[in-house]
Amino acid sequence: MAVLGLVLLGGLAGCGGDSGGNVIRVTRNIGGREGFRHHFETWKATFEQANPGWTMELTDLGNADGAQFYKTRIATGDLPEVIMTWQLTNFLADGGNLVPLPDSYYEQFGIPLPTPYEGKRYTSQAGMQIQGIAVNKAMWDDIGVTEPPESWEEWFAAFHKLQEKGYKPLVLGGREWSAAQPLFYALSSDLYDRTVDSGQASWTKRRDAGEVRFATDPIVRQAIETMFYLVDHFVDKGAGSDGYNEEQRDFYGGKGAAWFMGCWMAGDLEPNRVGFDMEYWPVPSMIGRPPVFICTSAMPNGWAVTTSATGEKLDKAMAVMEAFYDPGVYQAFLNGECQFGEAAKVPAKAPQYDWAPAQHLIENMSENLAAYGTTRGFHIALDDMPPPSFHDLMARVMQEIVAGTRDIDRLLQILDDEWESARKGM
Amino acid sequence: MRSGLKGGASGGRLRGATASLILCGPAVALYGGFIVLPALLGFAYSLTDWTGWTGTPDFIGLANFRELCSDTLFFKSVRFTLFETAMIVVFFTFFSMALAVLLDKLRVWKGLIRGLFFYPYVLSIIVSALLFTYLANYREGAVNLLLRALHLDMLAQDWMADRALAPYFIFTLVAWSGLGFFTTLYLANLQTIPGELYEAARIDGAGPLSVFSRIQFPMLLPTVTTNSVLALITGINLFPQIVVTTQGGPGFDTFTIGYYIYHLGYQKDRLGYAAAVSFMTFAALVAVAAVQVAVLRRRQVSL
């Protein structure tokens, strides 16, 4: 018994604590993305060269957002020393798991100061990520549309023309998170003020205060009706079986004219040897606004140092954070994620690809980004965000629509009920 | 002499107690540490608003249980779980019995055919579920490809995402993967029926139906009890099959209780509320299982 007890205690004790040795563990969502892997390897090599005797160890989160992994590690007291935070920064900070970064860190690289959370800043500002619509240029040229349509009606008219020419207008899978994209675009671009400092509380804050509801907001109702039309006319039977991978395969395989997907999709063109020209167009409006890209990195969502790093490890964890902005590492990051640089003092400003279609796409993205601008949508600040599960909720509403639900009041009620339920988890 | 006997008896009791402690102690300690204690902690968490992000949950009394009473998604999950469980219990209790009786009659390729039925059970649930996900894909799944090859395109369906078909898709997956196990339990029970009973029935001129209804079925009742309880547990615990295949969709249509608890705890960060749902489910299951076992035990026969 005594031996068994000692073994058990020893085992349990081994669950907590740091990794030991001269190792800094860093999380990254590599999964199967070669661009992300290349970035991590470049980052690791740069850090290890500048810090002899120290190792930067990868903890690959795959395609997950890390929430489950982080909660488990918090429970065992074993968070890696440097972690990607995404929209989880406030949860991690509330639990006292993050080390605040000094303003000098941001100034060193010319990074715009992220919005503070309860007076403190925690994360690197990795880069600017935008969401828009990728289009297969040849198909759109074939129907004579060379400029982005301005409204959803114009998009639908163009989709009908594409169908008449025998093209599949849109790739959309209903099985996973990516099902949410069209609804997310409609809500994010039209429900929120385009100027965050307009003086009026955001829709999120008004929803939380009970001043507005999905069920009674005419723009949300219009968005759902728009989704009905989209699904009824342009989404194939069987889309419910498909997910992100099928969408990507169809679009990269030249089988679809448009893909509602974030700019990171461009980072996969070279590894997948996608050989045709694409453009990246802004999100249309339902209510007469100009089209716009959605900026999804306005909130602080980069890497952060955790309280697992103490003493010398804290210094080395900061060295990892600084190595992120090494020009070669930052360029690899911008390439892999297809993001635009925000660190003014770092020479890397935008992705640079050797693969011609990828480079053409990023140049088109830059051009259109300058022409149409961005809205933050609901990505305003850490204390002004919908519940983290909101994207999943939108995906489920879209699944309902793909599965044939046309009871708009029921769908709006689901949005309200689930929003309130998810808020209790914050 | 009397005191010697008395001393011997108490010494024996002491030795017995020591032996019990040595033999049972480790198991009790492990069970207590890894099952009972977490269950008690789970109940404690159900009285909090714990999100999993902090180490200090706030006590909120019975608020989670009050919310549960009006949680439409919870009741939707309960209805779906019961629907699946009903199909699973009936199938594993009766269909696997019929299959076992038929397999028991086999005289050729007995081992091979029994093995074929048992084979899916050897696969992990995750592997089986992934396999079904590939089979059921609308465009490229083997089922629809076969239908199209047979010019039966109109029968090709979105098996996982059509809300009318998804519940049966989940059931088919569970039935396929578990049939071998439940059938094997019946087959084992069939081997214990004395040959004299069959011989007597043959002499009395009993047909196959009479043999089944008068001999086999009553003798299989202990396994009916076991299988129905195990099938009930299988149905109520439906979770990995959902995670790998439908992920609760389309919408919330294939949310089981287990998936709902996961959804609350890990997608909505409501671990306190998820613990409350778990506790209520546990209490309900204990009650159902107690009634089920009591009813079925009364119907068992013994030699």
The shortest CB-CB distance from A402 to any of B29, B137, B250 is to B250
More confident site: A19 or A205: A205
pLDDT at B5 over 60: no
Angle at B92 between CA B86 and CA B96, to 5 degrees: 145
Superfamily of domain B70-299: MetI-like (1.10.3720.10)
pLDDT for the residue numbered B300: 59
- Closest residue in chain A to residue B266, using alpha carbons only: A68
Yes or no, beta carbons of B247 and A75 under 8 Å apart: no
pLDDT at A340 over 50: yes
Tell whether B270 is within 8 A of chain A (Cβ).
Answer: yes
CA separation, residue A209 to residues A204, A205, A420, A423, B72 (Å): 9, 6, 11, 12, 23
**For chain A, what's the residue count?**
426
pLDDT at A279 over 80: yes
Report chain A residues whose CB lies below 8 A from the CB of B163. Answer: 403-404
The shortest CB-CB distance from A399 to any of B25, B71, B249 is to B249
Give the mean pLDDT of chain A.
Answer: 90
The shortest CB-CB distance from A94 to any of B54, B163, B273 is to B54
Yes or no, beta carbons of B139 and A238 under 8 Å apart: yes
Quote the minimal CA–CA distance from B35 to chain A in Å: 15
Using CB atoms and an 8 Å cut-off, which of residues 112-171 of chain B contact chain A? 136-139, 141, 158-163
Task: State chain A's maximal CA–CA distance in angstroms.
Answer: 80
pLDDT at A18 over 60: no
The shortest CB-CB distance from B137 to any of A71, A95, A241 is to A241
Domain limits of chain B? 70-299
For B260-278, what is each residue's pLDDT tens digit? 999 999 888 899 999 999 9
pLDDT for the residue numbered A267: 83
SS3 helix, strand, coil % of chain A, rounded to 5? Answer: 45, 10, 40
pLDDT at B284 over 50: yes
Q: Which of B267, B271, B273 to mutate to test the interface with A (most CBs of A within 10 A)?
A: B267
Q: Which of A73, A97, A175 to mutate to test the interface with B (most CBs of B within 10 A)?
A: A175
Tell whether B18 is within 8 A of chain A (Cβ).
Answer: no
**Which letter does DSSP use for residue A292 in this model?**
B
DSSP A351-414: ---SSHHHHHHHHHHHHHHHHH-EE-TT-S-TTS---TTHHHHHHHHHHHHHTT---HHHHHHH
- Cβ burial, residue B58 (10 Å; 0-12/13-18/19+): exposed
In CATH terms, is domain A130-295+360-423 a member of 3.40.190.10? yes
* Residue A19 banded pLDDT, cuts 50, 70, 90: low
Helical pair B125-136 and B142-149, crossing angle rounded to 10 deg: 30
Domain boundaries for CATH 3.40.190.10 within chain A: 22-127+300-350, 130-295+360-423
From A159-163, A286-290, A345-349, B56-60, the region with the lowest mean pLDDT: B56-60
SS3 assignment, position B41: helix
Yes or no, beta carbons of A71 and B163 under 8 Å apart: no
* Residue A299 banded pLDDT, cuts 50, 70, 90: low
Quote the minimal CA–CA distance from A146 to chain B in Å: 31
Q: Which of A113, A120, A114, A115 is nearest to A98 (CA)?
A: A120
SS3 assignment, position B48: strand
Residue A121 region by backbone torsions, left for phi larger than 0, else alpha for psi between -120 and 50, else beta? beta
Q: What percent of chain B is predicted at pLDDT more than 70?
A: 95
- Strands A82-84, A55-60: pairing kind: unpaired
Q: What percent of chain A is predicted at pLDDT more than 70?
A: 94
Report chain A residues whose CB lies below 8 A from the CB of B26. Answer: 1, 4
| Distance of alpha carbon B290 from the chain centroid | 15
Q: Which CATH number fits domain A22-127+300-350: 3.40.190.10, 1.10.150.120, 3.50.50.60, 3.90.470.10?
A: 3.40.190.10
Mean pLDDT within B5-23:
77
pTM of the model: 0.85
For B63-117, what is each residue's pLDDT tens digit? 999 999 999 999 999 999 999 999 999 999 999 999 999 998 888 888 888 888 8
Q: Tally Cβ neighbours within 10 Å of residue B17.
A: 10
* Residue A4 banded pLDDT, cuts 50, 70, 90: very low
Contact indicator for B100, B187 with CB cutoff of 8 Å: yes
pLDDT at A15 over 50: no
pLDDT at A220 over 70: yes
Report chain B residues whose CB lies below 8 A from the CB of A241. Answer: 136-139, 141, 158-161
Q: Of the segments A4-8, A381-385, A419-423, which one has the largest average pLDDT value?
A: A419-423
Please give the structure tokens belonging to residue B224: 């009916």
From A106-120, A358-372, B149-163, the region with the lowest mean pLDDT: A106-120
Q: Tally Cβ neighbours within 10 Å of residue A144.
A: 8
Contact indicator for A70, A93 with CB cutoff of 8 Å: no
The shortest CB-CB distance from A425 to any of B22, B51, B249 is to B51
pLDDT for the residue numbered A13: 46
pLDDT at B212 over 60: yes
pLDDT at A3 over 50: no
Tell whether B26 is within 8 A of chain A (Cβ).
Answer: yes
